[in-house]
Structure 1
Amino acid sequence: MKKVKLSLFDILARLGSSAPTKVDLPPIDPTEGRVTQSVRFPPKVRQWINAHAEHLGVSVQDFISLTMKGVMETTSSPQTDELDTMVMRFFLLFESHGIATADIPNFLPPNSITRSELRDTNKIIDLMDGPVFEHLQKLFGIERDWLKGSSDCAYRSRQFYKNLPAILSEITRYKLKTGNSVNVLFLTRSGVELAELAKIKNEDCETNDYEYIHIVLKFEKRVGSQTIATYQLWDSLPWGYWRSRYHAKALIYFCDKTQNYTAAYSLSQEKLNDFICGRALFPGIERHGNRWLLDELAWDDDRNPERDELTAIKRYFKEQGGEPYLNAIRHPYPPKIKNYDAFLAGAEPLRIDESD
């Protein structure tokens, strides 16, 4: 999507939107005339105001008054702000996933909108009803309230701590459905990579539990002739606490045994916060971080710097119910998977025939 040049009104409205949304104004006396207010502008600002006032054919005073009145009315209307935000996020969602504006109708329910109607903001506002919100939420994995403009969190964090099958189910189901691998991303703050995590493991958790590793799943989806990446935000696990670390390592172990991909990225604290709080969309996250490898934590040889924990990780993986998901991928057909269709549909948890 092309970048839109902001108008004077857009710029001032955005500036005004950061001010208090509710300002108590005193009653206005209809007999009161205009109040003269002296304002000093820097020379460049004054020249800019003069140029715009001349272009509109009004006085400088009228230009300033008209502009500020418009800003006041717009920023005091949260309904207008939410609708504007909804339209902006509608286009941002597609742009961030690499989808050209002309192709947007291909990613919506049939006959939802035409290309020419994408020029009309009101058409887009009217388009965004329940079924379309649900469709986009399911397709891109984003939150409906974010799309509506009523929330700043684009993703809902999912939990698998003390419930390892929750995340293994998502990975297994996708792999059985598509035959493709899932990319499991592990995010840390800048300066925290494998060597630093190894040091944290051997120190007191109470002083190091702020060093978290954040987990994101990346899937590829085929829509018509195009492939897009969608994401799920999962737990943030403190590496210094053994149970959290075992959970993360059990996931790495599973990926290694099932040919799913793992990659780790260290990001600036600011960028990391934006992503894990849902304020930034995940497409392109790899460009914002420094990549490092952690799959060796599942290897049973000297390349694994924490090989001393591997036996415990394997035992923990089994105790936490991970074995059925290994078996499902190794033997991905009935009768080994007792409820194949229901599991793929997400209607039932995985049930495996354990007999040989």
Structure 2
Amino acid sequence: MIFGEIESFLSLVERVIKPFKKSDKTLQEFLSTRLVSVFEAHGVHRNQIPNIIGHGLTLHDVSSDEYLLEKLNNEVLASTCKLFGINRDWLDGSSKEVYPTYSFYKDPQKFSDFLSGLIAECGSENLEGVLLTVDKIDRGIESVLILQETLGHINNKPYFRYYICSGWVFSYWKSRGYIAASIAMCWKNQVYVRGLYLDTSTVSCYASGECLLDFGQDGIHFPYGVRWYPEDLVEQPDVYLKNVDPEENKFGLDAALSLWFQLKNQGFLDTGYPDGTVIKKFSEAREKLT
């Protein structure tokens, strides 16, 4: 009877502590699992990790999260973060922000310098972008320009690094002008940018840097969303003004057009392509508001 009670007690204790043991194991394995997810999200298969990162890793080491965990050290983690532009705190599990975010609101020259730096490092042929927005007036959400750098190729398939440029509230007239300037500078430097209208939660997540950009070897070629042409922000008044908050007495629309002319005169809206009657189109759009 006593032994039966002891056995029952031990069984009860085991059931109580088992979840904690499992949780502890999950926490221990989480770092290696997250590391693999980073590589695969940027176009590198698990089995290709040793070829990319080195540090003595073997195919056996990356064959499971448990084996990889035993080989992780600061050098491997730091190299991964540097290669893909990942926040180390996120990889360690102490932050929600996967990527650093870059804000160029009201500072087109800063974006120009940033873009020039990227081009100097990797060449414009290895850069492209996508501008994600919502197709409605919403002053509570930022748009995001994701720039994609092709770092190299594995078996003729590319792998990437991403740069998250945000801080622009797409429906706010002032943001609209500075977004247009950024797009123009991209096109002038042969960094081609596509546009997509997506749902609010997706755009917000990407704009905050808190979503792992899990595009794999497809890169930023989204299979969903409504496509549009960001370069039309620079050249087509109806696109430039679409979903801009008009505010009282159409102040927002008038201010957006005034900012367009200001940025045009400063040279920030030069796409490098002939613009023909663009100024005339925007002048006519402003006249219609009066």
Residue 44 (structure 2) aligns with: 99
1:209 is aligned to 2:157: no
Quick one: which of 181, 187, 199 aligns to 1:268?
199
CA apart distance, 1:105: 0.2
Q: SS at 2:205's partner residue?
A: helix
CA apart distance, 1:89: 0.6
Q: What are the superposed Cα offsets for residues 162-182 of structure 1, whole Å, 9 maximum, x if unpaired?
A: 332333233223334424153
CA–CA separation in structure 2 for the residues paired with 1:100 and 1:65:
42
Structure 2: 5+ residue stretches without partners: 243-253, 273-290
Quick one: which of 26, 33, 37 aligns to 1:88?
33
CA apart distance, 1:34: 8.2
CA apart distance, 1:273: 3.5
CA apart distance, 1:144: 1.0
Distance 1:34 1:278, change over 3 A: farther
Quick one: which of 238, 259, 262 aligns to 1:315?
262
TM-score, normalising length: structure 2:
0.70
Q: Give the 5 Å matches for 1:91-130.
A: 91-109=36-54, 111-119=55-63, 121=65, 123-130=67-74
Distance 1:253 1:98, change over 3 A: closer
Structure 1: 5+ residue stretches without partners: 1-31, 37-60, 201-207, 328-356
CA contact (8 A) 1:146 1:152 kept: yes
Q: Give the 5 Å matches for 1:1-356.
A: 62=11, 66-75=14-23, 77=24, 81-109=26-54, 111-119=55-63, 121=65, 123-176=67-120, 177-180=122-125, 182-189=127-134, 192=135, 196=136, 200=137, 208-223=138-153, 226-284=157-215, 286-299=222-235, 306=241, 312-313=259-260, 315-316=262-263, 319=266
Q: What are the superposed Cα offsets for residues 156-200 of structure 1, whole Å, 9 maximum, x if unpaired?
A: 2122123323332332233344241532322123xx1xxx4xxx5
Count of residues paired in the alignment: 249
CA apart distance, 1:71: 0.6
CA–CA separation in structure 1 for the residues paired with 2:170 and 2:207:
16
Q: What are the superposed Cα offsets for residues 322-354 of structure 1, whole Å, 9 maximum, x if unpaired?
A: 59x999xxxxxxxxxxxxxxxxxxxxxxxxxxx
Q: What are the superposed Cα offsets for residues 264-289 of structure 1, whole Å, 9 maximum, x if unpaired?
A: 22222333343333343214262353
CA–CA separation in structure 2 for the residues paired with 1:171 and 1:292:
22
Q: SS at 2:112's partner residue?
A: helix
CA contact (8 A) 1:171 1:182 kept: no
CA–CA separation in structure 1 for the residues paired with 2:175 and 2:223:
27
Distance 1:122 1:233, change over 3 A: same
CA–CA separation in structure 2 for the residues paired with 1:306 and 1:175:
30
CA contact (8 A) 1:256 1:298 kept: no
With a CA cutoff of 8 Å and minimum separation of 6, indicate the structure with the bigger relative contact order: 2
Residue 287 (structure 2) aligns with: none
CA–CA separation in structure 1 for the residues paired with 2:20 and 2:80:
33
Distance 1:302 1:229, change over 3 A: same
Residue 346 (structure 1) aligns with: none
Distance 1:169 1:154, change over 3 A: same
CA apart distance, 1:115: 0.7
CA–CA separation in structure 2 for the residues paired with 1:114 and 1:181:
29
CA–CA separation in structure 2 for the residues paired with 1:96 and 1:231:
11
Task: Give % identity.
Answer: 21
Q: SS at 2:143's partner residue?
A: strand
Distance 1:277 1:66, change over 3 A: farther
CA apart distance, 1:314: 5.8
TM-score, normalising length: structure 1:
0.58
